[in-house]
Each structure stands twice: as C-alpha cells, then as structure tokens.
Amino acid sequence: MAEEKAAKEAEEISRVKLPRGNQVIGVLEARLGGSRMRVRCFDNKTRICRIPGRLKKKLWVRDGDTVLVEPWELGGNEKGDVVYVYTRNQVRWLKNKGLVKEVAVSEEF
C-alpha cells in the first residue's frame, strides 16, 4: 500500500501541467457559489473564474488551492476559466522550479 502511494506521488510530480500560451497560475481566494470563485493570479490580477461545464464534476477546489487559469478572450483581465488544480506535491515542484513564488502549501490534505 505504501509503495503504491509513493509511486502515485512520483507519477504526479512527473506529469505537472505547465502554463501554455496565455494561461497563468493563481491561488483561489474565495468561492462565490455556482462554480464561480475569486482567484489571485501571479500576473498581479484578481479574476472571477468559473469551472467549465465539462470539468464541473471532475474538479474539486477549496480556498487556498493553486490552480491553472485560462483568461477569457473578452474581459481576460477580469474573468477566466479554471483549467487544472495542482496537488500539494505539484505545488512544491513548481516552487522549486521558480514558477510559483509565494504560495503557502497547506497541510490539510
């Protein structure tokens, strides 16, 4: 059982989804209800983001989670979609690589 857990953690680290194009990494500040949330992105902007319908039942988020945000084409400075939620190990890896600066890793898992 412990070997499976260690293998799963190693697999998660090797498959970290990096930002592409105009995607940015952010930290979830507050859930607003109706699959909407306020995310503070690392490009110094706060966006109202939503979880797209195709991912609504697959992505579970909590306050303080690190997420990958894709800004909208119209109103991209204010709104966006949450594309991916990073795990604790993935956040540590991103922090070691210098992609994430000031994220406090929560130990509530």
Q: For 3-54, how does the pLDDT look when each residue is reduced to its tens digit (9 = 90+)?
A: 666 655 555 566 888 888 899 999 999 988 888 899 999 888 899 998 888 7
Confidence check: pLDDT of 107 > 50: no
Residue of 82, 22, 26 lying closest to 58 (CA atoms)? 82
Spatial contact of 48 and 79, defined as CB atoms under 8 Å apart: yes
Residue 18 lies in a domain: yes
Q: What is the mean pLDDT of the chain?
A: 81
Spatial contact of 47 and 57, defined as CB atoms under 8 Å apart: no
Residue 106 lies in a domain: no
Q: Compare 107 and 50 and report the one with higher pLDDT.
A: 50
Q: How far apart are CA 106 and CA 101, in angstroms?
A: 15
Q: What is the CATH number of the domain that holds 13?
A: 2.40.50.140
Instruction: Specify the DSSP class assigned to residue 50.
Output: E
In which domain, by residue range, is 67 found?
A: 2-97
Residue 103 lies in a domain: no
| Stated pTM of the model | 0.76
Domain count of the fold of the chain: 1
Residue 108 lies in a domain: no
Give backbone dihedrals phi and psi of 87, rounded to 5 degrees, phi first: -85, 170
